[in-house]
Structure 1
Amino acid sequence: MCSPHHKPDGPQLGTSRRSLLRNAGLVGAGAVAAGVIGTPTAAAAPLLPPGAEARSAEPGRGRPDPDSPRFTLVVMPDTQYLFDGQSIHPEPIEASFRYILDNSADENIVFMSHLGDLTQNGQKNEFDAISKAFELLDHSDVGYSVLAGNHDVGSGGNDQRGNTPYRDAFGPQRFRKARTFGGASPDGYNTYHLFRAAGREWLVLALDWRLSAAGFAWAQNVIAQHPGTPVILTTHELVYANKPGDEAQLSGYGRQLWDKLIAGNDQIFLTLNGHYWPAGRTTRRNDVGNDVHLHITNYQNRYYGGAAMIRLYRFDLARNTIDVETISPWVMGQAGSRLNALERQEIELTGDQDRFSVPIDFEQRFSGFAPVPARAARPASRMLIPGTVAYWRFDSAQQDGSPLSDSERVTDLSGHGNDLVKATVPGSPADALTWSAEFHPDQPGHGSIFFTGHQNPLQGAYLQTVPQAPLNQATFASGYTIEAFFKLPADWNSRNNAWAALLSRWGMSGEAKKTGGDPEEPVATLSLSGGRELQWAMYPLNRDDSVTNWGHELPLDRWWHVAVVNDGRHTTMYVDGCPVVRNPSTVANGITTLGMPWLLGGYEYGGKLDQVLHAFVGDVRIVDRALPVGAFMTA
């Protein structure tokens, strides 16, 4: 018998796994009565629910959406016990293929990868049967890959072994007309496949059970010929887990694959293999320090030889996540009353190694070989839309990291004279405010300024409008849009940096005769709470108390865009173009002023400076009307 996690090498011509199941007492009367165990030939009783076998597998279900950020890769591990000598049961694998066809549109299924050991003994009759089952995918133009496992071709030798029933059935000739087929190695045992999803090309490398030196060279050449394409490597043996719940580790041959091919090719970000059980996974760092996710999936040790279970790898580039689910379409497709006790356990596997999520920042992970080009800078003149009253940007020719001098003046590019000048907290270092080359990817100006303020003790430097600036008097009775790009650095903390303002207005509400709130707070401020929530709190012209819009917690070390939009009656806050939930319905008209300057990076309380921002700030624009999202600086 097999060890707990390793199968015997080579085709096995002796006792089938089904007899082992019977001998182990795993077959109940219900299973026998249903005709699901021990049927000796391919003429077995139907295993699908009534009418299921009549479902069409013809084209017409539609091709995958190549631009959607969400798509699904289906993975099918070892199916060998379904094709074992004279014990041939294609129904479960056909059910899995029909699931792919029937759900191709809803799931945006782009490809299916089989991980080898299609058959138990590598015999022609076994391959004839499974080859016919795969015609369901062939006839419906579904892209897929297969590869040889040790039970398909024997454990001796490598991909130079010559002809086999496997190659007769699943050699390159089978894929010649497939739209996803890229090519094959000269021996016919290694193939690569290309599909488009999430607006880009992806490559599946399907490698033989044992690569020769020529096989390694071929695989390396395929990757080299697709330098900007992320690669999913599939093979039969790579990692294994000793027992359920253990972290997977490289096998002896897996170590060769890692050292000779995977570690040195940053494009390989995910590997999938079968052969061993139980299921497991691990993450390793490649030669450039990036994560490679290595997964083993194999269910042949489960009831009915795994019943052609499939893994659904649901890629979601909008969420930077791969959600993984393991299901048995064959069991799912049977009427509930027909399920025996063991089948009910196989509908869906929910253990930590069978249902999980993998967080991947795809843009960052692929940046080493396929960087997303930065959006070109846009001239300031394009940002001066009608109603622009102030526009500041920081794409200075100054060296990255150089301090702003006390004499420097940031010009208001709108031409209205709302220039900014530097103000420094006494005792602060000279580099408390510096020029930076960093910027938001959608920012018009390619640069920013870096505030290094904190409260305990109060230190830092900020900018404020000059005393004669028209902006100081503006009340915005007809509405306004205030926009800013910013990033909170990784060392931001609530103890020192909470309640600093991106933009605020000098002047206490009490001095403005506003009696409904804290008389010492400023008349307007766009601040960040201790929970890194944006807060737009201001006293409108039509009320004695303040009206506040609240954002949500923002992750550190990431660029953001915020817009506060007032249409003359209501104010809406947007983060990255999305409205936040806590936008009040309170009527708020205009912004109260005492004719005093605006502060960029400074916050006043009780008539004196109370906090200085710790953040990068990019372009800032103020418009005296409500703008739609499509007119924001990110558009």
Structure 2
Amino acid sequence: MPPATPRPPSRLRFIRAGAIATAAAGAIALSSFVAVPASQAAPADDLGSRFTLAVLPDTQFYSRYSADQFQPRYGKDPYQVQTEWLAENRDALNIPFVTQLGDIVDQSGQEREWVAADNAMRTLDDADVPYSTAPGNHDVRDSNDDLDDTAYDLSQEPFLKWFGPERAKNVSTYEGSDPTGLSQYHVFEAEGQQYLVLALSWRVSDATIAWADSVIDAHPTLPVILTTHQVIDIDSDAISPKETEYGLELWDKLITSNDQIFLTINGHFHGESHLVKTNDFGHSVTQIVIDYQMAYEGGDGYLGLFEFDLSHNAITVQTASPWVTWKPQEKLTSYDQPFLEGVNQQFVVPIDFAARFASFDPTFAVGPATQPSLSQKARDILLDGFTGPDPVSTEAPGNSDDYVDVAGTLAHWRFTGNSGVVAEGQSVPDVAGGNDLTRVGIAESGATNAEVGDVTIGSDHAYLSSDDASVCFANADRNNSRYSYLETSSDAPVNNESFDNGYTIESFLKIDKSWTASTNQWMMALIRAGNRNEMPGVPYDRWGNGGPVVLGLSNLKEFQWSVIPNEPGLGDRVNWSGEIQLDTWMHVAIVNDPATRATTMYVNGAPVLRNATDNVGQSFVPDAPWLLGAGMDSNQPGAGWNGCIGETRIVDHVLDQSEWLTARADLTGLTVVDAPEGSLPATTKLTTFSGTGLPGAEVRMSGSIAGTDVIDDDGRWSIVLPQALTAGAYEASVVQALGTRESAPVAFDFTIEGAAVANPGTTPTIPIDGADGSVALANTGAELPTGAIVGAILLALLGTTVLIRTRRRRASGLSGE
């Protein structure tokens, strides 16, 4: 996982050049491996010989943001909560050993991150829970793939200071380290059987591999679990395993020739997968990758619980989060789930332990059957007393007006009403007024390979956006000068806003499925034009030739919000998301709060982990436009967006989620004024029903009295009858609606006194169509001339009294005589 500062477009933090998507024919024995759901494991009440191996995948963001994000928000970080939970439940879950998979910290040169990691792992020290650690690429000072562990200046490596042999020797299972001190091995005992854990450093040398061979040779009867930061990857489908060049090197030089290695576990790659390979002895080796650093809150505390069920010949793997169940309920989001249930997150690996170990440990024996299902027990422990997040209402909009129109909206670009290719010079309106966007001509833009057809408006849009269209930018290629963009005019009011009272900027974004890092890394969706390095008072930023305000996507598919605040001397302030899915609509909200001097990025409603502090507002180049669909580099547009952009709004203050574009307009304020009650005198003549509601909504009245009206800009509505109501019993209900979405009805009924009729129980409907002065009767469908209406109603109505039913407080407003 790369650092959270802008990187040059040509540089990748970790290199997978030569990574092999599929291994050579016959190398992967997937047909011999059938993962079954964890629910098909042994019954919970079936006792067996069992233990749990606990796995801590990449903890880097927990360490990095412990002091400035997690501690202020929660009082602890997920790493600390993970280790506390493991220590507390070691006996209940029969946990003999915990292994950490590398990337202990995110920035190896930042001591505060090592302090956070030290605090977390010291919990295991204090509880005498054995564990292993090994450095990942973020734990060494130079993770260049061309270097191995013997190329480092070991006197400068912080891992050795914090987790080297001097610390490891105090762990009860520790047996030794390689000459660099970066790799280590442990021997733990569980259910009467010893196991060797070989924890290898990032990019081990041939010398370290020789050391690993010697360790295995010195323990010829022990099954070996190899843990290291990188072995296998996950394919683009986010499910299938993918071999890597380095993983194959480990396989060829160490794994396949050592039959004792039956299981490898690694992190590094975002997600999870597993496969089984066949070694030189014709035996299986299960390989598992698990890493959640790009999930909500840097991994949301997910760890692996590997239940070894020796009695039933299975390893049951489940992904669980002690952090989710520890957090206060009011801070939980829809992303906070105690367990992940995906195909590679809960599964069972069948393994006949005795048969698999027979070649080197023919005396292997199953321990006494005293343990129930430990996977089920872990679930019971985590769910005991847990209350999940409150349900989140995510109603689809009823129509294109179904959003919260807030005061302080400076610009709101919507694409409804447009379709097809966006011509050069064609404008998209700002519905807030004064800041229309116009497509810049190809010649003017400098995009020598762009085509007019690269920009289109179509009906594809996000589910929660009330704008039923979006603008899509196709064929963007940063290496081929192909990009397109829209911009505000030089005199647009929004160009010179400093946002001293904070801001809320929202957009719906989708990355095209054709996205690749080589062609689209650092592409931009929304920016303020200019060169931040030329702005007065701004500290020089070697990555900062772009605009003073940028919303874009990194080379690792992370959303980035980068801004020079209104105090330019503070320099760049950056927010980062986790990895974003391709071909999926995402809602992004950037909220700058002057009260806290913090900027928070929300993706689909959830705050990201890496947020910016100590900043208010925005610096800008006077009269420079806002650009939609491209960025700038050294005063030249480029870095075109490859995908679609939905409605985008800029507001001059902080909005909470109830006011975002994902929220629906409030339909609860409907009133009917002075609705008649009870039994009214025969002389009463009602001609009009009126009330208040949401401007622009349609009022629909149904029942004995029917009609519609549109609420005016002052929030008033009025339904006028074609003639005054005559004697009879009436009932009606009124709703206000935005398209398909309606409010709860306001219902009422009343009686106008009159003579009894011969046919009681029949109530007429009085529709408000009145075009020809006629009224239709609901019970017959007959249409009578106006002159006959009184007689018809008198024949149909009973003069009974029905009390009024209303749901809301009413003001004055029914008119009559």
TM-score of the superposition, structure 2-length normalised?
A: 0.37
TM-score of the two chains, using structure 1 as the length reference: 0.48
